[in-house]
Structures are given as C-alpha cells and as structure tokens.
Amino acid sequence: MRLSTLLLLLFLCVHLSAQQELMLQSAPELWHSNATNPAFFPQEKRLVIGLPAYALDAAHSGNLTLNDIYAKRNGIRYIDFGAAIDKLDPENTVHFDQRIETVSIGLRLSKKWALQAGHANRFTGAVTYPKDLPALLWNGNAPYIGQTLNIGPKIALFNWNEWSVGAMRSFGNLTIGAKMKFLTGVSALESDENHHKAEIYTNPDIYQLTLNTDYAFNSSSIISAFDTAGYGFRVSLGSLNGKAFTANTGIAYDFGFNWQLTKRIRVSASVLDWKGKINWTENANYYKSNGTYEYEGAVFPGTDIINGGDSLDFDSKIDTLNDIFKFVKTPKEFSTSLPTRYFASFSFMLNARWTFGASFYKQSGAQTHSALGFSARWSPLKWATIAAMYSVDDRSVANIGMQFILKPGPFQLYLMSDNLANVFTPRNTPALNLRAGASLVF
Amino acid sequence: MRVKTVLVFVIAFSLFSGFFSACTREDLEQVEISDHTAEFAFPLFSTDLLMKDLMLNILNDTLSGDTLYINSDNSMTLIYTGDVAEKKATDIFNFLENGLVPIADSVSSSPIQAPDGVTVTRADIKSGTITLIIYNNTTDTVSGIFEITQMSANGVVFNYPFTVPPTPNTVWISPPIDLSGNILLSGSNLLEFKYYAYNKDGVRIAFPSINGGFAPVFVSFQNLTFSYLQGYWGYSSYPLTRDTIEIDLNQTNLDGNVKVKNPKVTMKISNSWGFPTRGKIKYLSFIGKDGTEYKLNSTIFVDDAVDFEFPDFTKNEVGQTKYTYLKMDETNSNIAEIFNAQPTRLVYEVEGISNANLDPNVIGFLTDSSNIKLSVGVELLLEGSADNFQTDQTLDLDFGTYSALDTTEIEAVEFKLVTENQTAISAAVQIFFLDENENKVDSLFVGGPQFIMNAAPVNAQGIVSGVTRKENFIPMSIARFERVRATKKAVLQAAFTTADGGQVPVKLLATDQVVIKMGLKVKTRL
C-alpha cells in the first residue's frame, strides 16, 4: 500500500460515524426504519420486501473538510494533504459507520404477529491519530529532524455481516419487536489500549533514527504483513473483499416497542445490538512492537577504511531498517463488542398533512455518542412526504436535517440526512450523514 | 393539487440532483496526487579512524620489521628498519671441517688451514671424527700408536693404537675416531702427526712409500666442528650488508610538504666476535622522490667508519655480546635538512674490517655462537608539521540496496558528512568513483577537494586539546547519484595539513582519532 493511499484512507474516513439516523427513526412508515426499531412495520401492509439501502454517518474532529485535501488546478483535481495536515489538531479522531442493507423481508401473519428477516453489511470504526503521523507519512522525516514525533494511532475498525430474524407482536396499540442477529465478522483491526505508543526521533547529527515503541494491535484479515525495507513504511493489507460467512461469529439482539398512545400521539423506543459481540478467529493475529530501536547506519571499522582491503558494503546495513518497525506477529484470537445503541421517539400528528416529533439517540461503549432532534413532517400528497429536523449532537448544535419520501404504488423511495448541508457539499464539511433506499410494500 | 405535485417534484429533483452531483465518482476517480516532495533522512555510515591504526597501515605497506612504537606519553615513533645483517662465526669455523692429510713419514707436520690473516692458537673440538688410513706393503703385521702432538683431552695427548696386517693390494682403514672434547693447541699454526709402528720382531719401522712416492699413511678429518677458536686476527675485510629502507610516509606521487621534527637514523650493532671490528660505511644516502641522492653526513663517523664494541679476550669477556648504538640526528648530522626534501628511501652499505689498526698483539676469539648483527633504522617521532600532504587509498564499494532503488521517484539527494576530529590534522578530501574498468565516472565534490575536517586545537606542546566538529553538506543531482551508486570502487584522496596551516609542529598521539559519519537526505516525489 502506497503512503498516499494510506493517507487518503486516513482522511477519507470523513466519508464514512456512529449512525444516529434520527430522521429514519422519525419515519416509522418506512420499512427500512425497522433497522432502528424492530417493532416498526408499515401500517396495514402484509408483505414488505426491502430493496438495497445505503446509510452513512461519518465525521472528523475539528474543521477538516475534503476541500482541504482536494485542490483544482487547470481543471484537474489534485489530492494535496499538505493543507489538510496544517489544519489538524495535535490529536484527531475520525469515526464512521456505514450500513448497507442488501435485502430484507417482512410478513404480517395476522393483526398480532409479524415476522422479518434480512441481511446487512456494516463497517464501523474510529481512528484517533496524532497530527505527527500524517505529517511524517506525507512530508517524510527530514522536516522534523531533532523532533520527537508521536505516530501511534488508536484504531478500532470492524466490518461484519448481520443475518437477522425477528418477530413482532401487537397488543392493541402497543407493538413489541425483537430481532436476533447472527454476526459474521469480515475484518477487524483494533489497537491495544494499553500499548499505543510509537515515537520516532531523527537525530540532527547524521539523521540516526530512534524509534521508541510500545504499540500493539489485534487484526483479523486486514493487516497481513509489514514491510519497512527501503525508504518507506509499507503495510501489506489483506483482502478487504467481504465474505458473507466466516469463522468470525457472534450474536446480537435488537428490542423495541412502538406505542400508539392516541390517534395523534405515538412513542417508541429501541435497544439495538444488545450483547453484540464477535469472536475473531479467522486470520486473527496480535502484532506487537516493543522496545527502543536505534538505527545508526552501517558501522565500518576504521581499519577497513584505512586498509582499503574490505568492501564497504551498504547492502546488509539498510535492511536493518526492517528491524526498526519489526512487529512480532502472534496468532491470537480476540473478541470485540458492538456498541449498544438506544433510540427513542415521540410524534404528534397535528392533522393529515402535518406531524411533529422528537427523536433521541444514544450510543454506549468505547465511543459514546448522543443526539436529539425535533422534526416537522409535511405530506402534501398521499404518496409524498417532506420532513425537516433540527438536531443537536456531540459535534454540532446546528444540524438541519431533511427527508424526502415517495410512495408511488407499492414503492417506497426515500432520501434523508440528519445534516442536509453536508449532503450537498460534503467537501465543505467535516461530517456527513445520509441514507437512501427503496422497498416494496404490499 | 397540481401546484403541490409540481412542488413535490421540484423538491425531489433538487434533493436527488444535489445529492448525486455531490457524490459523483468523478471526484474520487479523476483526481491525481499533486506534485509533492517528501524528504527522508537517515544515516549511512560511521567509522572511527584511530591515528595508531593509520600509522600501522603505513607500516604494513613496507617491511615486516617496521614498527610503530607507542611511547609512554602516547606519542608514537615510526620506526622503519632494514634487514638485519648477520655475520656468523660459523662462516669462519668451517676450516679443517673435512680433509685428508698425507703422512709420509713417522713424523709429519701440516699447517692449519685457517682463514686469511688468522693464526689459530687454540681450537676446541666440539664434534667430528678422524680416520687413519694405512697401506702396509710389508710382509709383517705391524702394531703401533698414532699421535697428534698438539691435540689433547684432559691433559692426555691424543693417541690411537693400531695393528695392521699386510695389505699388498688394499689399505687398512681404522674405524672413525671421535675427537669431541679434544683441544688443539698450537703456537705455530702447525699440527704434528706421529706414529710409532713396530714389526713382529718389535723393531720400529716406517711404512714404506707406495710405488710412485705416495705417502703410505693418511689422516682423514670428517665433520670437524669447533666450539672455540683463539688466535691472532689480522686485517681482513668482509661485506656486512647492503640494504634499502623504504620510507612510505613520503612515498606518494602527489604533492605535499611534510616536515618531521628531529628524525633519526639509528644503527645498532650487536657483536660477540672477540676481536676488534670496524664498520666501514661504504654508502649511506637518502634518495629523494626524483632520485636525487642526499648523503647522510655525521660527526659520529671518522673517515666514514666507526669501531664496534667487542668482547675483549684480555678482559675475560669470552661469550659476552657487546652493543654499539649509533644515532644520527639533527645534532650530529644533516638529517633534518635531508628530511625537508621528503626522502623516500635510505640506502646503506656497511663493510666489516677486523684488526683495522693492524695491531700484531691482538688476541681474539670466536665461539660457535659468536656473530655480529647490524640493523639500521629510521625513527620518526610523529611530531612535525604537514602542509597539503597528500595520500590516496582505493576502497571497494558496494551500495547494495541503494543500487537497486527506483530513482524515478527521487528528485535529489544530499549527503551530510560529519567529522569529529581529535587530531591536529585538517584534511581536504576528494573521492573519485570508478567503474568496473577503473575509469573515473564522477567525484564526490564538484570542483576539486574540499576541507571536510578542521584540525583540533593544540596546546603549547603540540598536543591536541579538544575536538573539532565540521559538517559538510554535499548535494547531488539524481543523475549523478545514478552514476555514483553503480560504482564498485572509490579512490579516496586526502591532503593533510597540521594545525595553523602546517606551520606549527604537532605531536600525533596513538589515542588521536577521527570520527567520520555520513547521513543522507532523499527527496522523493509521491
């Protein structure tokens, strides 16, 4: 993997964050809202087929935007990390959550019972990295001679499939739903919280390199090898092609209810990914680099120079750069827990055209996240709904969301975002949230 | 209703078109990485050059006897020595070793075959035998005693009884008779042989001569060796040595000017020959780079000769070794003046002369271990000054991994050469890189050598009192780097100048050292 690619991945994580999906939560008539509450099922529909849907929630800390990375000269768009690096904080965090729902189905058996099943692929993670890391990768170590650079990132990346089956039961105006999800892990990379120090120092003398590391991470199918020969630090990645079924398995549960208190008032709440855990066994390794490595170049005995007899051989010396970053690879299984997510919503239907509501989201676990939104929905036509939402989350108090739903015939088409401005100008913002999808309902 | 429908479509169109225009794949696929240069820096090598090793290298190029003597104050004396000339006593002891002495009558004399000018008065026989050969052409069995009057053992004159039957057609030969332990004493340089022979009637006879007048009795000496000789040594000359001492310090084809403080030529003679020996200096000259001869004149020589110390017989110094040290320095010779011309070799020829004064009363001796050794050396205390003194060294190179680097991504390189000098020598250096045919393809510095190392400060005694660090940055285009990294040999040319531009004598200590380090910056395009 080239350095530029590595950097691009680091920054492009902007495109991908904990998935709050407040707008989806406010639209229980959509089949895909079932992803936020297993008790949601389109009213008066017996059969639903979920077509593909894509959801993305991502954010980068600070004010970094893609426009800081892209530059346009003579009509050609360039990637230039220099300006982006200048805007970075000493420590930066990228978090993202991507959900691809491939197919799902729901069947209402009776007025009381309904069943559901589906598949989704999820890719979630968070990377906290020091500014020194991209600076070193982009600029090289020469501009930082005499400085100690901290380059150890904290990483948590997980990609997995969810195979879900569930059921819901109505008790009058109260519907409860439950879903069991069989998880198959595709790939994972998680740094060891107790070992994430990596410092590099370039001595002004003749650029002797000192690397002080106590860095370790678990990986399953992402990192296959480290090659630090030559001038760079190349990381060999394993195949990222998603596999539907792997030996990395786990279980998670979703629970929820939807209560139509009155004709106009509705409340709902759900717990998602409860007890969610994946045991990583396939290509699972623990990589650790620990120690102080000093590379001083080749050391020729003075007598070799004086006598001139022996060859001054640089060949074997530079290979010792491998030793600097040498990670000890140990096969080791590990497990990761999914963050538990909580949704709650309230809606008040003013009339047939207007509905007002509030939605709350919270994520617990290693990366906590919460959001609260207030929405207004307008249905000018029976088959069209437009909604807007003002929300507050951890990183912004000025999010204006938008939702557009078309329901021609059996189709449900929708496009929504918790932050509309980011959707239209994603390169100008440090965060992005969107969801789009389609379903057939009968 | 119609207005609402239109409005919905307008909003829908705006939303979808806005969304998709923001997310066109063009953004991600038609981008290029901007021209960007990253710069990596890493160390290349380091080495410690010890002054002691450097001087040893100079010595290793010459004779095995050359030494670098480290004095108690860590100063160093460079000693070039020639072959040790040796004249062993065994060169003289080889007289009488083998021989056949005819004895024509019952009493015969034969001179001792001593070296020219030598009269032996005593010879102690260490080993060897004699054999008595008799032709008895009488009809009787003859018995008798053979005697060498001047030879005795423990006070008993050497004698050998014999009985010889008639030998009309052959000779009688005695078994070998061991002579070890016998001493020959002769005041006249003559040996007297006698035999007392009696026939069956007890009448003393002399063996008749053989037809033609040949002696009927012979004494044959076999493998005679001596442990001691004593006698008179007259005037005699013999070559001791002719040799050449190479002075590598000054052997270079390059320019330079080295001034060595108080150089010396030493001559050491160890002598256990027990008689006066004079060393005659037949030739003692330094040879310059251009072949010019510089004769070394010294007041220690009288008529180009000097008498060696010797163990004196009259002082009972038999078995001792006496030493003669001769030192030619700036106080007694013109050597300092000669060294200003940076001579490259010393050529000398010495001849030995015994009893050069022709003293007729000189009694001398030799033992079988006596010898005379002469060694000549050039001693250079490494204290002096150098101004642009140049030397060169050829080094094999192998850039290994650097040779295989893809330089299409490299814009330029810059070497950083650091010297930490703890010697009183500054150095200007140039490195020429050679291809496989040893043709120069490039050099480290463009435009000639550069001073990479400044002399360390020295105190009033000329001894280094600190360390001088110098950093040299050597940029190199990628085209040049391409050429250089493919080379397999390098010629290092260095021109040394001592402190203060070579005007002040400095003392080089064995502990003096230079640390040379090099790092590399590489600008790469991403």
What is the length of chain B? 526
- Tally of CB atoms within 10 A around B204: 11
Size of interface A-B (CB pairs under 8 A): 193
Residues of chain A with pLDDT under 50: 1-2, 12-18, 228-233, 240, 316-321
Contact A144, A199 (CB under 8 A): no
Tell me which chain B residues have a C-beta less than 8 angstroms from the C-beta of A381: 4-5, 8
Average pLDDT of B277-285?
A: 92
Residue A219 pairs with which residues in a beta bridge? A189, A285
Greater confidence, B485 or A135?
A135
Is the pLDDT confidence value at B418 over 80? yes
> How close is the nearest chain A Cα to the Cα of B525, in Å?
10
Contacts of A67 in chain B (CB under 8 A): none
| Paired tokens of B90 | 């065994």
Confidence of residue B191 (pLDDT cuts 50, 70, 90): confident
Q: Answer whether A80 touches B (CB < 8 Å).
A: yes
C-beta of residue A316 within 8 angstroms of C-beta of residue A290: no
A139 near B CB under 8 A: yes
Cβ separation A424–B39 shorter than 8 A = no
Could you tell me if A258 and A266 are in contact, meaning their C-beta atoms sit under 8 angstroms apart? yes
Determine whether the interchain pair A298/B521 forms a contact, defined as Cβ–Cβ distance below 8 Å: no
DSSP 8-state secondary structure symbol assigned to residue B214? B
Chain A neighbors of B22, CB-CB under 8 A: 423-427
Indicate the CATH number for domain A3-441: 2.40.160.40
Chain-chain contact of B42 with A321 (C-beta, under 8 angstroms):
yes
Taking the C-alpha atoms of residue B65 and residue A413, their distance in angstroms, rounded to an integer, is 100
Residue of B nearest to A66 (CA): B27
Is A429 in CB contact (< 8 Å) with chain B? no
pLDDT, tens only, B306-343: 999 999 999 999 989 999 999 999 999 999 888 888 88
CA dist A95 and A393 (Å) reads 14
Q: How far apart are CA B332 and CA B354, in angstroms?
A: 26
What mean pLDDT do residues B272-284 have?
92
User: Hey, what are A389's tokens?
Assistant: 């939402």
User: Which of A80, A205, A208 is the closest to B34 by Cβ?
Assistant: A80
CA distance B271 to A331: 81
Q: What is the per-residue pLDDT for A309?
A: 53
* SS3 call for B29: helix
Give the DSSP letter string of B230-248: EEEE--EEEEEEEEEEE-G
Residue B371 has pLDDT above 80, yes or no: yes
A338 touches A321 (CB < 8 A): no
Domain spans, chain A: 3-441
When pLDDT is averaged across residues B426-441 and rounded to a whole number, the result is 86
* A434 part of contact set with chain B, CB < 8 Å: yes
**pLDDT tens per residue, range B174-188:** 999 999 999 999 877
Q: What is the mean pLDDT of residues B191-213?
A: 88
| Closest approach of B470 to chain A, Cα-based (Å) | 11
CA distance A3 to B392: 44
The amino acid that residue A77 corresponds to is: R
| CB contact A4 to B (< 8 Å) | yes
Grouping H, G, I as helix, E, B as strand and the rest as coil, residue B381 is strand
Contact residues, A window 351-380, toward B, CB-based 8 Å cutoff? 380
Cβ contact A79–B27 (<8 Å): no
E strand map for B318-370: 322-328, 345-354, 363-367
Q: Which helix (H) or strand (E) holds A271?
A: strand A265-280
First to last CA, chain A: 48
Mutation to test the A interface, candidates B26, B42, B411, B517, most A Cβ within 10 Å: B42
In this predicted structure, the answer to whether residue B9 has a pLDDT above a threshold of 80 is no
Q: What is the CA radius of gyration of chain B?
A: 43
Q: Do A254 and A118 contact (CB within 8 A), yes or no?
A: no
Q: How far apart are CA B247 and CA A256, in angstroms?
A: 100
Query: How many of the other CB atoms lie within 10 Å of CB of B465?
Result: 12
Res. B295: pLDDT tops 90: yes
For residue B489, the distance in angstroms to the closest alpha carbon of chain A comes to 9
Helix axes A132-139, A3-12, angle to 10 degrees: 150
Rounded Cα distance, B95 and B117, in Å: 13
Q: Is A142 in Cβ contact with B40 (below 8 Å)?
A: yes
Q: Is A411 on the interface with B (CB under 8 A)?
A: no
Distance from CA of A248 to the nearest CA of B (A): 32
Which of B6, B7, B26, B46 best probes binding to A when mutated, by most A CB atoms within 10 angstroms? B46
Distance from CA of B476 to the nearest CA of A (A): 17
The whole-number pLDDT of residue A348 equals 96
Distance from CA of A304 to the nearest CA of B (A): 9
pLDDT of residue A16: 32
User: What residues of A are in contact with residue B438 (Cβ under 8 Å)?
Assistant: none
Burial of B56 (0-12, 13-18, 19+ CB in 10 A): buried
Distance from CA of B437 to the nearest CA of A (A): 17
CB contact under 8 A, A209 and B42: yes
Tell me whether A415 touches chain B (CB under 8 Å): yes
Query: How is residue A35 annotated by DSSP?
Result: G
Q: Which residue has the higher pLDDT, B352 or B15?
A: B352
Reading the block at residue B50, the tokens are 């010890």
Interatomic CA distance for residues B333 and B317, integer angstroms: 33
Q: Provide the token pair at A290.
A: 């620990």
Contact B45, A298 (CB under 8 A): yes
Could you tell me which of B426, B284, B282 has the C-alpha nearest to residue B343? B284
Burial of B421 (0-12, 13-18, 19+ CB in 10 A): buried
Asked whether A159 and A123 are in contact (CB, 8 A), the reply is yes
Which 231-290 residues of chain A touch chain B by CB within 8 A? 231
Pairing of strands B37-50, A298-300: parallel
Per-residue pLDDT of B95-126, as tens digits, reads 666 788 899 888 888 887 777 778 888 999 99
How many helices (H) and strands (E) would you count in chain B?
A: 6, 36
Distance from the Cα of A165 to chain B's closest Cα (Å) equals 32
Q: Are A211 and A327 in contact (CB under 8 A)?
A: no
Closest residue of B to A416, CA-based?
B15
Tally of CB atoms within 10 A around B87: 20
User: In this complex, is the C-beta atom of A293 within 8 Å of any C-beta atom belonging to chain B?
Assistant: no
Nearest-angstrom CA–CA distance, B416 and A425: 48
Structure tokens at B182: 């016998």
Local structure of A272: helix, strand or coil: strand
Q: Which residues contact B6 (CB under 8 A, 6 or more apart)?
A: none
* Cβ-Cβ contacts under 8 Å for A78 (sequence gap 6 or more): A70, A71, A72, B31, B32, B33, B34
Q: With left for phi above 0 and alpha for psi between -120 and 50, is residue B330 left, alpha or beta?
A: alpha
Is A143 close to B39, i.e. CB distance below 8 A?
yes
Q: How far apart are CA B69 and CA B75, in angstroms?
A: 8
**Nearest residue of A to residue B488 by CA position?**
A311
Q: Which of A306, A377, A429 to mutate to test the interface with B (most CBs of B within 10 A)?
A: A306
**Residues contacting A403, CB < 8 A, separation 6+:** A23, A26, A27, A375, A377, A385, A386, A387, A388, A389, A414, A415, A416, A417
Count how many Cα atoms sit within 13 Å of the Cα of residue B368 in the half-sphere of its side chain.
Answer: 11
- Model confidence at B65: pLDDT above 60: no
Please give the biggest Cα pair distance in chain A.
99
User: What is the per-residue pLDDT for A230?
Assistant: 43
For residues B237 and B358, is the Cβ–Cβ distance under 8 A?
no
Instruction: Go through B129-162 and write b for each residue having 16 or more CB atoms within 10 A of its CB, e for each that does not.
Output: bbebbbbbbbeeebebebbbbbbbeeeeebbeeb
A235 versus B272: which is more confidently predicted? Answer: B272
Between A2, A203, A302, which is nearest B49 by CB?
A302
Q: For B188-208, give the DSSP string.
A: SSEEEEEEEEE-TTS-EE-PP
Between chains, do A301 and B401 touch, taking CB under 8 Å as contact?
Answer: no
The DSSP call for residue B71 is -
Is the CB of A380 less than 8 angstroms away from the CB of B526?
no
User: In terms of pLDDT, which residue wins out, A106 or B80?
Assistant: A106
Q: Which of A304, A311, A386 sits opposite B11 (nearest CB)?
A: A386
B227-249: average pLDDT: 84
DSSP states of A277-315 as a string?
Answer: EEEE-TTEEEEEEEEEEEE--EEE-HHHHHH--SEEE-H
Inter-chain contact A143–B526, Cβ cutoff 8 Å?
no
The alpha-carbon gap from A82 to the nearest alpha carbon of chain B, in Å, equals 9
Of how many residues is chain A composed? 442
Asked if A406 lies within 8 A of B12 by C-beta distance, the reply is: yes
Q: Which domains does chain B have, with CATH numbers?
A: 39-51+386-525 (2.60.120), 95-231 (2.60.40), 234-381 (no CATH)
Under a CB-based contact definition with an 8 Å cutoff, are residues A347 and A278 in contact?
A: no
Q: Please, is B187 exposed, middle or buried when counting C-beta atoms within 10 Å of its C-beta (0-12, 13-18, 19+)?
A: exposed
Extract the tokens encoding B244.
């050449």
Among the partner residues B8, B27, B45, nearest to A297 by beta-carbon distance = B45
The DSSP-derived string for A375-391 is EEEEEEETTEEEEEEEE
The b-or-e profile of A287-321 (16+ CB within 10 A means b, else e) is bbbeeebebbbbebebbbbbbbeebbebeebbeeb
How close is the nearest chain A Cα to the Cα of B301, in Å?
40
Q: Using DSSP bridges, classify how beta strands A431-441 and A47-60 pair: parallel, antiparallel or unpaired.
A: antiparallel
Contacts of A303 in chain B (CB under 8 A): 53, 57
